[in-house]
Structure 1
Amino acid sequence: MAHPHPTRLPLLLLLTLTALAGCDPKPQPPPEQNYSDVQFDVTVPLETPVDATLLLMGEDPAFKGPTGEGLELTFQGGTTFSVKARMPKNQELTYRIRMTAPDAHVALDAAGAAVPAQTLTAHENEENASFSVERWGPEGGTTQPQTAFVVAVPETTPPGDSIWLSGNHEKLGNWNGAGVKLYKAVNSSYATVLSFDPNTSLEFKATRGSWETVEQTAGGVDVPNHTHKTGSGFSRVTITVGGWRVYVPPVPVLTGNIKYLRDVTPTNTLLKKRDVIIWLPPDYDTNTTRRYPVLYMHDGQNLMDATTAFAGEWGVDETAQQLVETNKVEPLIIVGIYNTSDRGPEYTQVPDETQTEVDGKNGGRADLYGQFIFEELKPRIDSEYRTKPEAEFTGMAGSSLGGLVTMYLGTKHSDKFTRAGVISPSVFWGQNDILTKVDALSAKPPLRIWLDIGTEEGGSGQETVETTRLLRDELVGEGWVLDNDLKYTEVAGGGHNEASWAARFGDILKYLYPPVSP
């Protein structure tokens, strides 16, 4: 019997091995030399939220990341986000950066178009790929005007405090002390991005939520308003806060006989309720048969009480008390009408599409405001106090928009008041509309006018010497006589603020209410 050859395999085993040889082997990772470690460093804009989630995303599996959604970058401090990843060599890879949280955005260029995808071809190990993001925006880009505000704060800022911007626009709170809250951004800053109409003149300051904690210099000195005029595209405004005001509650120093009317509610529902402060002359309670002229003033909370004033009071009570007691001013009653959050609309005679910073598109409620004064408030004052209610003894005064509304109401209601303090008036409003109103007068009303402007007001607002001179010239053209029934003053160094108005209030009062013979 023959025996099989010792090296010959059984036929069944041979067939089995042949079949196995035809199967695909288990996939093996490519050799290490086909990959490169690449360091991606991305410089982001200052307004990027510090808690942003940034991903590099592309079609190549190298950009899928552990979750398949992309390579997540890690915040490194300053304005840098980074990630290190293994990339295949000698292949052109395409990728884009996205911010997926707290909002979904892509990188945009300065013009607002989405940035094209980046490309990378890795050749050597430990390569570096660096690029910068100009700004963030929606996938399809944006043509909307935008302004990014970035605020760097001092190390003394309490870590739990919020940072706000407050300014002269409804989106900035119309100077309410806490207009728009900023989010924490990269580089230890705070930021927000807002949209405004082109050519909007902005003024603003940083606060920690109120005027008691407004920004100052590192040495504790108040700073002027920051200013910015918007364009039609994207702009970035950066400010550095040196320090914060240390709040010391103001001492309520009220001089003289002070009364209040609380929560005075106009019948017209477009007007909001407000308080009214009333200063009575020194002899009001003792000379019980005497009747007094009345001066109505706007922005009443800024006149006499430091605890309610926006940025320091006028000292109307102290000034009036001293001038009356020294017989330099006729004894009078002063009625301060508090403003409301609708100050802009109430103090303007027409809407102004270009002046959204004081809610201009809803402006033009001055007639309603005047109706409230003449038909509701004045009758109440005349009934509760011993006034001389006639127009010849009644006056009105205000600053800025308060000066504008005083001048406007004076052109229409000389049957109600004949003495006008037009202080730093906002002549610019409505493309100088008040000049048109004065020019349209059919006859010169019997109005004694104080008109003034500070020489340094143009730097912080749109009230300027030039436009105030135009108003002066219109009044002269209508028959007012300088240094007779029109007193025009340019105050050297005068700014657009309460301190400047307080400094000249005594002169205003002496001109409008000179002493009279007994």
Structure 2
Amino acid sequence: MKRTLPGVRVALTLMALLGVSLVGCSSEDVAPTPAGGSVDVQFDVAVPASTPCSATVEVVGNDPALGGGKSPGLALKRDVDGHFRGSGTFTVGKVLTYNFVLTHPSAQEPIAFHSYMVENRRNIQRQWTVSKWSVAPDPEHLPTLFVVDVPASTPANSEIWLSGNQESLGNWNGAGVQLAQSYSSERSYVTCLEFSPGTNLEFKATRGSWDSVEKDAQGGEINNRFHRVDAPSTVAAQVGSWRDLVPEEPRPDTLTGNIKYHEVDGSAYGLKNRQLIVWLPSNYDTDTNAHYPVLYMHDGQNLMNVKTSAFGVEWGVDETAQQLVEAGQIEPIIIVGIYNTVDRVLEYTQMPSPPRDGGKADDYGRLLVETIKPLIDSTYRTKPEPEYTGLAGSSLGGLVSMYLGLTHGDTFTRLGVISPSVWWASRDIVSRVNALSDKKPLRIWLDIGTEELGSDADNQETVDDTRLLRDALIAKGWVLDGDLKYLEAEGGRHNEASWRARMDQILKYLYPAH
């Protein structure tokens, strides 16, 4: 039975002022608990969609299960519908007085005061709605609640992750942010992340790696999930199946031309072993007197074959090169793709960028110069001189191409710096160009897409960073549209499809037909 206690009218007045309202309470009418016994009470609190992701909600009150009047009290867990839920065990007949506390990393906010006599019933659920908090929402950090429902085939105790195009989503590393299991459903998982207005999110669910990425119910590939952040919102995703749990249709070989492979030992440089894929021009076996320039490219498994590509999309380097050579638009060249390893970030960066590790680019450069290039020059009819030797890659591969051009200009003189990660280590690559004592004999292709990243602000920052690199090169003597070509690809994204779309321009600039 509900009892009206002194001070309740005051508490209700405070509740009204703070925008908190009781929307109902329910319980299951089963056999009552014996006098003096205890029952579980579930607290169910609906909160505004603008509630910060970092916040927790506690019930703090006069019972030990509620913290004995001090925080921490009974912690409520954010659930898939945005409610906060949790339960505690209380003695029948005890009068609980409590309030909801919104906890931020640096502050606690009391929200309202409540009073409740524990009823002689089981499975009691107390439901409340918080219409607004006493702190204003931050319009520059919009909470986005991700709710992922998994199929019944999902193994027990699985970890569910999201991976996507934002740093908080791991920048497509396969395991960006782990979700928590729902309070109310064992097949639902939830996490909350905050983004700036205008952010375009792309993501997929995984069980911790791309080997266990989500697929549709029939086991087919799905497109990236997309959501534009314009307001606090909930994004729901239903996983059909998992890659490692369904028979996968083998990806087709999409190789074009005369292809060779080699294995490379990286242990002498403290690096992992890797594979090389080599594309030879169609006249290589027939014109035995010809020697060819060589373009070395990073992320080799993504360049020529859907079967080996990380995301099922290749650059089409083999098809593009063959078409351009046969049309007489570039000189015949040899292209060497250097497969990456799990240490890609370490190898493609010249120094750490806290909190990220990095700094093995010099070791990777030695592997290229001292092992890979001699192997290619001794196996194939190359033009080994620096003026015929190029290096190209995208993202961190673009960064390491620029860096190795600066440090190994006596080996590589034609650079494809594609969508480079100029931001790394506080734009360290720009500082290195600014510090040059003299101009290097480099022919440089530099580009960036106008929609590389998820948000308009991030897109602009990425373009601005690349312009800084362009301007630094010009200040050191490179001539725009001479030995420096700069392109801002309208609508270009940070993916293989976009890089494929401008591969013909890159090759025509770096290796023009005579």
* TM-score after normalising by structure 2: 0.69
Is residue 376 from structure 1 mapped to residue 377 from structure 2 by the alignment? no
Shift of 1:486: 0.7
Identity value in percent: 53
Q: Does the residue aligned with 2:330 lie in a helix, a strand or coil?
A: coil
Is residue 343 from structure 1 mapped to residue 341 from structure 2 by the alignment? no
Is residue 268 from structure 1 mapped to residue 269 from structure 2 by the alignment? yes
Q: 1:241 is matched with which residue: 237, 240, 253?
A: 237
Match of 2:280 in 1: 280
Match of 1:15 in 2: none
Is residue 444 from structure 1 mapped to residue 443 from structure 2 by the alignment? no
Aligned residues of 1:292 and 1:331 also touching (Cα < 8 A)? yes
Would the alpha carbon gap of residues 363 and 58 (structure 1) be closer, same or farther in structure 2, given more than 3 Å must change?
same
Aligned residues of 1:36 and 1:124 also touching (Cα < 8 A)? no
Cα distance per residue 1:163-196 (max 9 Å; x no partner): 33335799977745356665532244214799xx
Is residue 419 from structure 1 mapped to residue 414 from structure 2 by the alignment? yes
Match of 1:507 in 2: 505
Is residue 297 from structure 1 mapped to residue 297 from structure 2 by the alignment? yes
Q: Which amino acid aligns with 1:109?
A: T
Largest Rg, 1 or 2: 1
Q: Does the residue aligned with 2:362 lie in a helix, a strand or coil?
A: helix
Within-5 A mapping of 1:35-114: 40-43=41-44, 80=85, 87-88=92-93, 92=95, 109-111=103-105
Cα distance per residue 1:89-147 (max 9 Å; x no partner): 6xx557999xxxxxxxxx9833477999x9856398779755799xxxxxxxxxxxxxx
Would the alpha carbon gap of residues 273 and 227 (structure 1) be closer, same or farther in structure 2, given more than 3 Å must change?
farther
Aligned residues of 2:163 and 2:173 also touching (Cα < 8 A)? yes
Q: How far apart in 2 are the matches of 1:466 and 1:293?
A: 33
Is residue 317 from structure 1 mapped to residue 318 from structure 2 by the alignment? yes
Q: Does the residue aligned with 1:310 lie in a helix, a strand or coil?
A: coil
Aligned residues of 1:60 and 1:93 also touching (Cα < 8 A)? no
Shift of 1:149: 9.3
Within-5 A mapping of 1:246-265: 248-262=249-263, 264-265=265-266
Shift of 1:150: 6.2
Aligned residues of 1:40 and 1:128 also touching (Cα < 8 A)? yes
Shift of 1:458: 3.8
Aligned residues of 1:320 and 1:506 also touching (Cα < 8 A)? yes
Q: How far apart in 2 are the matches of 1:467 and 1:60?
A: 55
Would the alpha carbon gap of residues 494 and 250 (structure 1) be closer, same or farther in structure 2, given more than 3 Å must change?
same
Q: How far apart in 2 are the matches of 1:203 and 1:470?
A: 27
Q: Which amino acid aligns with 1:207?
A: T
Is residue 484 from structure 1 mapped to residue 482 from structure 2 by the alignment? yes
Q: How far apart in 2 are the matches of 1:207 and 1:452?
A: 31
Within-5 A mapping of 1:154-169: 154=149, 158-160=153-155, 162=158, 163-166=160-163
Aligned residues of 1:149 and 1:191 also touching (Cα < 8 A)? no
Q: Which amino acid aligns with 1:241?
A: A
Match of 1:185 in 2: 182
Shift of 1:56: 12
Q: Does the residue aligned with 1:319 lie in a helix, a strand or coil?
A: helix
Q: Which amino acid aligns with 1:280?
A: L
Deviates most, 490-499 or 242-251 = 242-251
Q: Does the residue aligned with 2:403 lie in a helix, a strand or coil?
A: helix
Would the alpha carbon gap of residues 81 and 436 (structure 1) be closer, same or farther in structure 2, given more than 3 Å must change?
closer
Q: Does the residue aligned with 2:375 lie in a helix, a strand or coil?
A: helix
Would the alpha carbon gap of residues 60 and 290 (structure 1) be closer, same or farther in structure 2, given more than 3 Å must change?
closer
Q: Which amino acid aligns with 2:103?
A: D
Q: Which amino acid aligns with 1:473?
A: D
Q: How far apart in 2 are the matches of 1:414 and 1:472?
A: 18
Match of 2:223 in 1: 222
Aligned residues of 1:217 and 1:243 also touching (Cα < 8 A)? yes
Cα distance per residue 1:336-394 (max 9 Å; x no partner): 111111111211112212xx4xx3xx212211111111111111111111111100000
Aligned residues of 1:217 and 1:241 also touching (Cα < 8 A)? no
Would the alpha carbon gap of residues 131 and 501 (structure 1) be closer, same or farther in structure 2, given more than 3 Å must change?
same
Deviates most, 122-131 or 301-310 = 122-131
Match of 1:453 in 2: 448
Cα distance per residue 1:271-315 (max 9 Å; x no partner): 222111111111111112211110000111110111221221101
Q: Does the residue aligned with 2:284 lie in a helix, a strand or coil?
A: coil
Q: Does the residue aligned with 1:88 lie in a helix, a strand or coil?
A: coil
Aligned residues of 2:294 and 2:383 also touching (Cα < 8 A)? yes
RMSD value over aligned CA atoms? 4.9
Q: Which amino acid aligns with 1:257?
A: N
Would the alpha carbon gap of residues 124 and 221 (structure 1) be closer, same or farther in structure 2, given more than 3 Å must change?
closer
Cα distance per residue 1:454-480 (max 9 Å; x no partner): 111143667721111111111111111
Is residue 365 from structure 1 mapped to residue 360 from structure 2 by the alignment? yes
Match of 1:331 in 2: 332
Q: Does the residue aligned with 1:241 lie in a helix, a strand or coil?
A: strand
* TM-score after normalising by structure 1: 0.68
Q: List alignment gaps of at least 5 residues for structure 2.
A: 1-32, 48-57, 68-73, 131-142, 194-200
Equivalent pairs counted in the alignment come to 430
Q: Which amino acid aligns with 1:454?
A: G
Aligned residues of 2:146 and 2:191 also touching (Cα < 8 A)? no
Q: Does the residue aligned with 1:292 lie in a helix, a strand or coil?
A: coil
Shift of 1:215: 5.5
Would the alpha carbon gap of residues 428 and 497 (structure 1) be closer, same or farther in structure 2, given more than 3 Å must change?
same
Q: How far apart in 2 are the matches of 1:123 and 1:173?
A: 46
Would the alpha carbon gap of residues 84 and 328 (structure 1) be closer, same or farther in structure 2, given more than 3 Å must change?
same
Aligned residues of 2:331 and 2:513 also touching (Cα < 8 A)? yes
Would the alpha carbon gap of residues 176 and 38 (structure 1) be closer, same or farther in structure 2, given more than 3 Å must change?
closer
Match of 2:384 in 1: 389
Deviates most, 402-411 or 216-225 = 216-225
Q: How far apart in 2 are the matches of 1:505 and 1:497?
A: 13
Q: How far apart in 2 are the matches of 1:128 and 1:374?
A: 69
Q: How far apart in 1 are the matches of 2:474 and 2:34?
A: 90
Aligned residues of 2:447 and 2:487 also touching (Cα < 8 A)? yes
Shift of 1:427: 1.0
Q: Which amino acid aligns with 1:297?
A: M
Q: Does the residue aligned with 1:313 lie in a helix, a strand or coil?
A: coil
Q: How far apart in 2 are the matches of 1:273 and 1:241?
A: 38
Q: Does the residue aligned with 2:497 lie in a helix, a strand or coil?
A: helix
Q: How far apart in 1 are the matches of 2:474 and 2:406?
A: 14
